[in-house]
Amino acid sequence: MRKRIAIGGIWHETNGFAAGLTDLADFHAYQYAEGAALLERYHGTGTELGGMIGAAGQCGFELLPTLFAAAVPSATIARPALDTLCDGILARFDAFGAVDGMLLVLHGAAAAEGIDDADAHVLERIREVLPPPLPIAATFDFHANLSEAMVAGADLLVGYDTFPHVDMAERGAEAARHLARMLESTGRPARALAKVPLLSVPQKQATDREPAMSVMSALHDIETRPEIWCGSVALGFPYADAPHLGASVLVYADDTRSARAASRSLAEEIWSRREAFDIALVPPDEAVSEAMRHPRWPVVLVDPADNVGGGSAGDGTVILEALVRHGAKDAIVVIADPEAVAVAVAAGEGGAFDAPVGARVDDRHGSPVPVRGTVTRLGDGRYVHKGTYMTGYETSMGRCAVVDAAGIRVLLTSRRTMPFDAEQVRCMGLEPAEQRIIVVKSASAWRAAFESVARHVIFVDTPGVCASNLEHFEYRRRPVPAYPLERTGPDAEHSWLRDVP
Ligand SMILES: [Zn+2]
């Protein structure tokens, strides 16, 4: 008999410092699928759902699709939006009859109005229709700020092992296999959660670079032990103000002692490398002149503070302004600015463009920059991912325009879009390898798109809601002490192990 397994999820990385609220429309604009459409849309894609769907046959699952909703990382989720999505998942159960378990896609850094830990809340809501001992296995993002409540809410959680994230499908399949294993017996693995008092920023979290590379290889060693079901490290997302901020280690094992020992040793491994998570940044003017002088190109100028994937508006102008002032040539900058797109559309292809661009959403990412040039291309901003991130998935940037301003090509988009795939600019006729300078609104996501052509990379010290210098933020509820805001070491005997209810 095939097991009847519900599938769905709610995925959002919430930037608690970003302006406004994330509403239902933001989920519909990015990823939203219900019922049979969920299976159709994600089958064969490099996503968690794609991996779960792919593994279902082998696991003996009949999948019962609920709904999946994801919004591009952004501000706090409006409470009614979260309620609607949870209700939507629960409502599907009415028609299912008997259900044996659930596969769920979560993020681990979601927050809604009045709810610090929205992922734990979603799990709590699902337990209304799927009470224990019916098993729930869920995936989470490498940027999760795991809490005791979230860990307690599911029987097993599997986190991405990569950043930039390229293993979502594998982790989805892994979650499905663990769910099948739990269904074969009534037993559940023992679990241990360790929290490390370290706040790190995305550009230092890449898993194929130090310091994270060594941490991940220690994790993979631990996962080869027969008594270990699986382990995850989440380095966390520092752009929120909550008590469960920080790095986490979560291990599932046959027995509590093994889970705790493994969690503790990985937590100590992360802590011992804390100074390697410190960051070095170049001021914008220096960065632009260095890029213009550099003998080999393209040079990637990374604007980490306006990291779309971290919840910022994607309309920061600090680097664009410096490029214009220095007279840079053959540079691409992507700016989310629907008003500027409208100006370009009115001018038409070949028409003259003369309007302020960017910095409209808030006053934390520079000022609007006057741009004068020619509209060289208009488009619908749709592209299919051909790289390693969400391969095969179609993203839409909304109506787009390219304005060429004396060799600076400003790609204006209607929607803020994470730079995970080179098709983002190719679909508008811009070939990355032919540029001298590529500006990316991202901390690390850009690597999946542009690293293979980049000859030099400069991290720029820009202001914004994802600023790399955490001293810029007014935290009230974060854990204290936390490195690097407090540089004092904790008690060496402390294991940071948490009690999961
Ligand atoms: Zn992430």
CATH number at residue 244: 3.30.70
Cα 314 to ligand 1 centre (Å): 17
Distance CA 363, CA 304 (A): 16
| Same domain as 180, residue 138 | yes
Residue 151 near residue 500, CB atoms below 8 Å: yes
The arithmetic mean of pLDDT across residues 454-471, rounded, is 92
Residue 472 — very low, low, confident or very high, per pLDDT cuts 50/70/90? confident
| Same domain as 295, residue 254 | no
Cα 173 to ligand 1 centre (Å): 18
| Same domain as 352, residue 215 | no
Task: Answer yes or no: is pLDDT of 490 > 80.
Answer: no
Cα 237 to ligand 1 centre (Å): 8
pLDDT digits (tens, 9 = 90+) for 141-192: 999 999 999 999 999 999 999 998 889 999 999 999 999 999 998 789 999 9
| Same domain as 273, residue 133 | no
Cα 163 to ligand 1 centre (Å): 7
Cα 480 to ligand 1 centre (Å): 24
pLDDT digits (tens, 9 = 90+) for 211-260: 999 999 999 999 999 999 999 999 999 999 999 999 999 999 999 999 99
Q: What is the pTM of this model?
A: 0.85
Q: Mean pLDDT lowest for which of 86-90, 136-140, 386-390?
A: 386-390
If you write DSSP's letter for every residue of 74-123 in order, what string do you get?
A: BSPBPHHHHHHHHHHHHHHHTTT-S--EEEEE--S---BTTBS-HHHHHH
Cα 198 to ligand 1 centre (Å): 17
* pLDDT for the residue numbered 317: 97
Q: Which residues span the domain enclosing 397?
A: 284-467
| Same domain as 206, residue 184 | no
| Same domain as 429, residue 314 | yes
**CATH number of the domain to which 104 belongs:** 3.40.50
| Same domain as 392, residue 335 | yes
Residue 493 — very low, low, confident or very high, per pLDDT cuts 50/70/90? low
* Nearest alpha-carbon partner for 108 in 146, 79, 70: 146
Residue partners of 307: CB distance under 8 A and separation at least 6: 202, 441, 442, 443, 445, 464, 466
pLDDT digits (tens, 9 = 90+) for 347-366: 999 999 999 999 999 888 99
Cα 141 to ligand 1 centre (Å): 5
Report the domain count for the chain: 3
Cα 108 to ligand 1 centre (Å): 9
* pLDDT for the residue numbered 426: 97
| Cα dist from 235 to 140, 156, 215, whole Å | 12, 19, 10
Residue partners of 429: CB distance under 8 A and separation at least 6: 376, 377, 402
Residue 390 — very low, low, confident or very high, per pLDDT cuts 50/70/90? confident
Structure tokens at 254: 């046959």
Domain boundary among 138, 156, 188: 188
Amino acid at 459: F
Cα 259 to ligand 1 centre (Å): 24
Domain boundary among 188, 218, 236: 188
| Same domain as 249, residue 209 | yes
* Mean pLDDT score of the chain: 95
